Structure 1
Amino acid sequence: MPQLELVATLEGHQDRVWQASWHPTKTVLATCSGDKTVRLWAPISQNDFSTWQCIDTLEGAHKRTVRSVAWSPHGNELATASFDATTGIWENDARDNSWECVATLEGHENEIKSVAWSSTGALLATCSRDKSVWIWEVETDNDFECLSVLQEHSQDVKMVAWHPTQETLASASYDDTIKIWKEDEDDWFCVDTLQGHTSTVWSIDFNAKGDELVSGSDDKTIRVWKMYEPNNTQGIATPYGQPVWKTVSTLSGVHDRCIYSVAWSKVHNHIASAGGDNVIRVLAKDSETLDDNAPSWNVVASVKNAHGVHDINAVAWFPTDKHGDWLASVGDDGVVRIWRLIAD
C-alpha cells in the first residue's frame, strides 16, 4: 500500500493556519493564518527537501484573520482573503524579490472565506459570509473591476474554485449546495445547483480535465460529481442546453467528523481529504471500475493524528509533475506539514 511520509514540519505562524497554496511552478508554498499574515516557505536547498525555511512574511494589509490565499497562474501575484472583508493583491518586485500589497478589493459586507484565480488569470472570484460570490476582472495597473455579484446562495459561501481550463466557477455553501456559474452576454448566472449533501459543503476541487468535481462536507461524506454534456450517451437531460452535474460516487466512513478540505491531484488523480478527526486520507479510483458513471474509490494511504489532536483545515497537492507526490497540510496547531506519497 502507498503511504504518506512526513517530509518537513514548518513552524512560525502564531495562530491557526487556514489554507496552503503551492506556487504554480516553483517549490514555494504560501500559507495564511489567524495571525493576519501569509508566509512563504521554500526548501533551503533544491537538493535537500527535508529542511525548509520561511523566505518571506506578507503582513500589514489585513486587520483580521487571513482565511484564504491563492497564487495567480503565472506565480507573480498572490491574492489574500480576510475576515476584515477585504481581498489583498500582492505583487512581487523581481528587483529585490520583495512583496507589496498593490490593491485592496472592497465590497463584501462580512468575512471573505475564499479567493481563487481563473486559469488565465483574467478573473478573480471571492466569496463571503454575506452569502455572495463576486467576480472581478483583472485590468491594467493593478485595477480590478467587479463584473458581477452572485447572490443565489441562501447562506454563508465557504469556497470558490475555477474550472482548470474554462471560465466556469463552482461555489460551495453553508446552504448544503454547490453552484456552477458561467458568463452569458456580460453577466454571470447559475447554470446548475448540485444537491445531495445534507450539511455544509466546506470544500470543492475539480479534477485535471474539469469534467469531475469532488466535495467534502460537514455531513462527513465525500461526493464525486460528473459533468454530462448535452446529447450525452447516458440520456441525462440537460435543460437549457447547459451541462449538468450528477453524483457518481458518495463516500461514507472515510472520516469520523466534518470534512474541511478535499484536494484533487492534477498529476496522479488521487484525492486527499482531511478534517475534524485529525486524519489525512488519500483516495484512488478503483482501476477495476467498469462503469465510469459509478466509479469506486478506495483509501490507499492514511495518517492519523497528522496534526496531533488539532483539526486539519486544508490539504493541497503540488500542481505539477516535478513534485506531484507532495501534499501540504495545515491545522489549528499553527503548523504546516509537507508529506510525500510513496508508491507501494
Structure 2
Amino acid sequence: MEEVKRVFIGAGCNRIVNNVSWGASGLVAFGAQNAVAIFCPKTAQILTTLPGHNATVNCTQWIPSTKEAFKVQHLENHYLLSGDANGAIIVWEFSLKDRKWRNVLQVPKTHKKGVTCISGTVVSQTASIFASTSSDSTVNVWELLLPSTIGGDCKLSCLDSFSLGSKPMVALSLAELPGSTAHLVLAMGGLDNKIHLYCGERAGKFTHSCELKGHTDWIRCLDFSLPTSTSGEKDSLLLLSSSQDRCIRLWKIALCSSPANSEIPYRKKEIGLASYIEGPVIITGSSSYQISPESLLIGHEDWVYSVQWQPPSSTPAEGNDVCQPQSILSASMDKTMMIWQPEKTTGIWMNVVTVGELSHCALGFYGGHWSPCGDSILAHGYGGSFHLWRNVGVNFEDWQPQKVPSGHFAAVTDIAWSRSGDFMLSVSHDQTTRIYAPWKEEVCSEDGYTWHEIARPQVHGHDFNCVAIIQGKGNHRFVSGADEKVARVFEAPLSFLKTLSYAHFQKSFAPEDLQDNVQILGANMSALGLSQKPIYVQATNEAPQKSSNDDLDTLGAIPDAVPVVLTKPPIEEQLALNTLWPESHKLYGHGNELFSLCCDHEGKIVASSCKAQSATVAEIWLWQVGSWKAVGRLQSHNLTVTNMQFSHDNAFLLAVSRDRQFSLFSINTTGVDNVSYELVARQEAHKRIIWTCSWNPFGHEFATGSRDKTVKIWGVQNKSSVKQLITLPQFTSSVTALSWCGCSSLRNKGILAVGMESGLIEVWTLSRNKIDVSGMEVPSFDAAVAVRFDPFMCHVSTVHRLAWKDIENEDCRTLQLASCGADHCVRVFQVGVN
C-alpha cells in the first residue's frame, strides 16, 4: 500500500451552545461527538478531526480569538482549547506554516463534571490566560505560557479556582482592564440570572467585585469589547450579556481613578439619564471603575443564546490603535441572527441586519460568530447544521447565504455506494438519510472535485439502522430500515438525476428519455415525518407552485417543497425540504425494529432482518425487487442478525448474528417469482457477538469480525461445507466493520479493510494460495497488514460500516474507501495500491 489520503469528511455539529469557535487563523473549530472537527469556511470542507477526548466535546476556544488577532500578528502557531463532558480540557497547537496539528497538553482534570464554557485572552506574545467553568459549579483560571521555539512545550499554571455554590455558571468572558495592564476582569453568568465580576492580577488571585442585576432568566453569553475611549484615552470596557429572557444588555465599565490621574479628583459628568442608573464601583489595585447599564436591546422573540462584538476588520498601521467596531452579532432560538449598530444621530442601538428568519428547518440557532475580517457571520443550529452568510455588497450591505460543510449530528449507522459510484448514501440516528457526491468546480482541489451533501432523500420520525442501495438496472433506488417494523423503498426523482448530472459535468445533461421515464419531480414531507408523497412533473407544469412561505405563520406548518435542479452545492434550507425522494413501497412483515439490510448484485432480491431475542423473530426475510413480494423467510439464528451479504455471484447469502454464529444459505432464483433457498452451514465462529462479515469478490471465501477482537477467514467447499482458513492476529479492539475488495488485475490478492470499536482502521492484504490436499486444491491465505491509518484520519468512536467503492472496471492503482461511525462522521479515503 502507498499513502492514504483524506478525500472527504462529513459531520454535523454537537447541539451545544458554546461548541463552535472561529479563530484568527480563519478556521472554525467545533465538536462532533468526541472529536474536535476543523473546517475551512472558504472551501466549505472539513479539514481534519482531532482525537483525544473520551466524551462529547462541549466547547471550543481559539487563542488568539478573532478579536485579538492584532495582538499576535507574528505568531507562527495558534492554539485551540477544547472541553468535554467528562471535565477534560485539551490544548491543541496548529502550525500556520505546515498546517499540522499537535496535542500539546491536557489540562489537569480539576472539573468533576462537564466543561460548559472556556474564555481566554492574550496578555503578551508568549502568554495567555483562560478560564473554564463546569456544571460542577467551579471556575478555574489558568495561565498558558506559549513556547518560544518551534516544537517547544507549553507550560500551564493554575492562577485561581473557586466554587460558586449550587447554581453553576454557563457563560464566561475574560479581558484586561483599561488603564491597568496588570489587572484582569472575569465576567461570569449562569443560572442565578446575575452577572458576577471578579477582578485579579495577571499572576494572582481573583476576588469577587460585584454583581450586575437586570436579566430575569439564565445568562447564556457574555462578551467584553476591546478597550474603548471616551476622551481620547482608552479608559472603558463594554460588556455584552444575553439571556433566556430574550434581551441583550450592554454594560459600561469606565475608569474612575488610577495612579496616572490621581491628582485630578473624579467628578461626575453632566447630569443625564445615566447619572441616575449608575451601578457599583469596583476597585482593583489602585484603580477604580464605575459600572453602569448602557443599553437594552430588544428584538428577538426567543432565548438569545449568543452575542458577540465584531472583531477589528483590519490590522492597524504602525503607531495606530485598534478601534472596537460598534457592531454586535446576536443569535437566538427564534431562528434569526441580528446585527446591531448604534444610530449615528441618537446613539440608540438598532437592529440593522436580520438573517435566517425564513429558515423553517433550522429549529433555532445555538450560537453566532463573526469571521476575522467581519464580512461573514456563521450560525450553528439545533439540527447540527451550519448557516453562513457573507456580505457581498460593495457600497451597501447585502448578506447572502454561502455553502458550508454538513453532516449527521448523531451516530451514522450505515453507508452504501451507488452502483455507478457517483454518490454515497448514509443513514443515522439523527433520523435523516443523506447523499454525498463529488462536485466538479472550476477552482477547487487537485482533481477538480470537492465533496458535498447534495440531497437529503429521507427525513424520518425514527432512528435509522440500515440501508441498501438496489444494484440493478433502471433508476437509483434504495431501501431503508429504522426503529420501526417497516422497510421503506425510495426512488430518485427527476430533480435529483439532473442535479447529479450537473455535479459531474457542469451542464444540464440528462438522457433524452429521462423525462419520459421519470415522471416524479420530487417529494413533499408529511406532517408526521414518515411517508413522503410524490410531486409529479405534470402537476408542477399545470399549476403554479405555491410559495414556500405561505403557511409559515401557522404553528408547526410544513411549507410545500419546491424541488429544483441544483447548479451549485445546496445550503441547509434547500437540503432539508427540497431534495426529498418519494416513497414507492412499504415492506411489512418483521415483528421488531429493522436492523440489517442487503441487496444482491443483480438487484433482484433484498434481504432484511430485525432486532430479535427468539428464533421466530430472528428470521431473515427475502423480498423480490419490483413486485416487492416476500419470497422467503430464512430461519437459523436465535438472536439479532447483525449483518448480511450476498456472495458476488449471488449463489450464497451469508448472515452473522449476536448468537456468535454465522449461517450460509444457498440462493437460487428461477423464473419470475420462484426463489429457492437452503441452509448450507451454520457454525459458532467466535467467542463473542459477530458484528460484521464480507465476501471475497473473486471467490467463495468470506471474513467475519467479532467483539472478541478477531477476524477469521472462511472458505466454502463443494458448495456444501465451510472450513476456517486463517485467523488474523488479534486486534487491539472489537472488530465492528469489514470490507473485502479485489481487482481483476490482482485476482489472487485481496484487500481487507478492518474497522474497530476504538475508531481505528487498518487495511490488510490477503494473498491467496492453493495447496494440494489429497489430490484436491484447497485455497489458503497469507495475511499481512498493509497500512494502519493515522489516528488523526480515523474515527474517534466505533466504526459502524466500511465500504470500498466498486472499481471492477477501473484502474487498481487507487481505491476509495468509505466509512461511517458513532462519532457522527462519514469519511472517504483514497488508498494507493502498489
**TM-score normalized by the length of structure 2:** 0.32
Look up the equivalent residue of 2:471 and give its one-letter code. S
Deviation by residue 1:186-205 (Cα, 9 ceiling, x = unmatched): xx221111111111100100
Structure-2 separation of matches of 1:242 and 1:35: 49
Which residue matches 1:128? 482
Instruction: List aligned pairs for 1:1-344, cutoff 5 A.
Output: 60-95=406-441, 96-120=448-472, 122-142=476-496, 143=522, 144-175=581-612, 176-183=618-625, 188-229=628-669, 242-252=674-684, 254-286=685-717, 289=718, 292=719, 295-306=720-731, 308=732, 310-322=733-745, 325-344=750-769
C-alpha change, 1:161 and 1:241, in structure 2 (3 Å) is closer
C-alpha change, 1:215 and 1:10, in structure 2 (3 Å) is farther
Offset of residue 342 of structure 1:
2.2
C-alpha change, 1:160 and 1:214, in structure 2 (3 Å) is same
Structure-1 separation of matches of 2:667 and 2:644: 14
Offset of residue 242 of structure 1:
2.2
Deviation by residue 1:146-171 (Cα, 9 ceiling, x = unmatched): 11122311112221111101332111
Structure-2 separation of matches of 1:138 and 1:35: 34
Structure-2 separation of matches of 1:40 and 1:172: 37
Deviation by residue 1:100-124 (Cα, 9 ceiling, x = unmatched): 2121133543221122211136211
Q: Say if 2:434 and 2:458, in contact at 8 Å, map to a contact too.
A: no
Q: Say if 1:108 and 1:130, in contact at 8 Å, map to a contact too.
A: no
Q: Say if 1:8 and 1:339, in contact at 8 Å, map to a contact too.
A: no
Q: Say if 1:8 and 1:337, in contact at 8 Å, map to a contact too.
A: no
Structure-1 separation of matches of 2:417 and 2:426: 9
Aligned-CA RMSD value: 3.2
C-alpha change, 1:164 and 1:241, in structure 2 (3 Å) is closer
Q: Say if 1:155 and 1:174, in contact at 8 Å, map to a contact too.
A: yes
Q: Say if 1:256 and 1:277, in contact at 8 Å, map to a contact too.
A: yes
Structure-1 separation of matches of 2:695 and 2:622: 18
3-state SS of paired residue (1:179): strand
**TM-score normalized by the length of structure 1:** 0.74
C-alpha change, 1:275 and 1:34, in structure 2 (3 Å) is farther
Structure 1 residue runs of 5 or longer lacking an equivalent are 1-5, 16-32, 42-57, 232-239
Deviation by residue 1:114-136 (Cα, 9 ceiling, x = unmatched): 22211136211111122221111
The list of structure 1 runs, each at least 4 consecutive aligned residues, that deviate by more than 3 angstroms after superposition, is 6-13, 33-41, 228-231
Offset of residue 35 of structure 1:
6.3
C-alpha change, 1:90 and 1:230, in structure 2 (3 Å) is closer
- What is the percent sequence identity of the aligned residues? 18
3-state SS of paired residue (1:318): strand
Q: Say if 1:261 and 1:275, in contact at 8 Å, map to a contact too.
A: yes
Structure 2 residue runs of 5 or longer lacking an equivalent are 12-31, 38-44, 49-403, 442-447, 497-521, 523-580, 613-617, 770-834
Look up the equivalent residue of 1:83 and give its one-letter code. H
Offset of residue 322 of structure 1:
4.5
Offset of residue 94 of structure 1:
2.7
C-alpha change, 1:180 and 1:342, in structure 2 (3 Å) is same
Structure-2 separation of matches of 1:155 and 1:8: 44
Look up the equivalent residue of 2:632 and give its one-letter code. D
C-alpha change, 1:183 and 1:271, in structure 2 (3 Å) is closer
Look up the equivalent residue of 1:132 and give its one-letter code. V
Q: How many residues align?
A: 286
C-alpha change, 1:60 and 1:276, in structure 2 (3 Å) is same
Q: Say if 2:433 and 2:459, in contact at 8 Å, map to a contact too.
A: no
Offset of residue 172 of structure 1:
2.0
Which residue matches 2:542? none
